[in-house]
Amino acid sequence: MELRILDGAESIGGTKVFLDTGNMRLLLDFGLNYKRYGLYFEEYLKPRSSRGIADLWRLGLIPHHPDLYRDDLWPDDLPREGSPLE
C-alpha cells in the first residue's frame, strides 16, 4: 500500500492525497492550492480552457503523477513528451 501527499502539505487548501492499494487507486482532491495558483492567475486571468490540462501541468498546479489523467485532456497539437501521458 502506498499513501502519498501530492500537494497541500505545507498550505491551507488544495490538499491532494493519493492512495494505491495495489488493487485500487484513489485520489482525494480538495480543491486549489491558492498560494501556488495565485503565482500565475488572478481574478481576471484564468487558465486557457482550450489547452486542457497542459497549462496546469506545466505550471505545477496539478499533481505530477503518472496514470491520473485521461488522454483527451491533453491537446493533440502539443507533444506528449514531458506530459502526464508519456
Cα gap 53→73, rounded to integer Å: 6
- The helix/strand/coil state of 28 is strand
The string of pLDDT tens digits covering residues 75-85 is 888 887 878 77
Does residue 2 have a pLDDT over 80? yes
Task: Give the tens place of pLDDT for each residue, 15-61.
Answer: 999 999 999 999 999 988 888 888 888 877 887 888 888 888 888 88
Spatial CA neighbour of 68 closest among 53, 81, 50: 53
